[in-house]
Amino acid sequence: MTTRIALIIGSLSKQSINRAVAEHIAAQAPAGVEIEEVQIGDLPLYTQDLDTESVPAYDRVRAQIKAADAVLIVSPEHNRAMPAALKNLIDIASRPFGQNVWSGKKVAIATASPGSYGGIHAGLQIRQSLQMLGAEVLINPEVFLSRANAALENGKVTDERTAQFLNKFAAAFYAWATA
């Protein structure tokens, strides 16, 4: 049986370190796991006024998350909070009222930053929103990867210790997602 993972990258940057971390975790997926990225860069800013209108980009991301067996979010921190584009997606997928697709969904969260705190404020904030929405959030192991830029070369995780750390997280995530 195939396990479907929806991958959400909180960065819209072309040179994103979080995308590099996400690609490393995705590359550890065992046979039988399919990963599909949820694009968040083209989503109109959410307002509840749009609940009664057809917004194809909203339908797309809601359907992707709904169909997934588990979701992996890898995100930077912006001003000690989650990036606006990611918050927009979380809000879109939580509505219209009664159609919250996060409810009961398995979600794992990783953050990465060039700074010393690894994006932990964003990571814990994402966790808080999703727990409130009824998601089943993977708490252990946690990833708030500090000095992440030093672990990368040409968009790949090349530092061996960092790779091992991410591989442990990936193994735990895939075991949980496929259980």
Residues 49-78 interacting with ligand FNR (rule: CB under 6 A): 76-78
Q: How near is the Cβ of 146 to ligand FNR at its closest, in Å?
A: 8
For 15, which DSSP code? T
Nearest-CA neighbor of 107 among 25, 175, 5? 5
Helices (H), the chain: 17-27, 56-67, 84-93, 120-132, 160-178
Instruction: Check binding of 123 to ligand FNR (CB under 6 A).
Output: no
Instruction: Check binding of 119 to ligand FNR (CB under 6 A).
Output: yes
Positive or negative: CA dihedral 77, 18, 88, 124: negative
Task: Tell me how many residues contact ligand FNR (CB under 6 A).
Answer: 15
Q: Using the rule CB under 6 A, which residue among 44, 51, 59, 80 binds ligand FNR?
A: 80
Kindly tell me which of 93 and 112 has the beta carbon lying closer to ligand FNR. Answer: 112
Q: How near is the Cβ of 82 to ligand FNR at its closest, in Å?
A: 10
Q: How near is the Cβ of 142 to ligand FNR at its closest, in Å?
A: 16
Instruction: Check binding of 16 to ligand FNR (CB under 6 A).
Output: yes
Q: Using the rule CB under 6 A, which residue among 47, 54, 79, 154 binds ligand FNR?
A: 79
Per-residue burial over 58-85, b = 16 or more CB atoms within 10 Å of its CB, e = otherwise: beebbebbeebbbbbbbbbbbeeebbeb
- What's the distance, CA 69 to chain centroid? 14
Rounded distance between C-alpha atoms, residue 149 and residue 131, angstroms: 29
Residues engaged in binding ligand FNR (CB under 6 A): 11, 13, 16-18, 76-80, 113-115, 117, 119
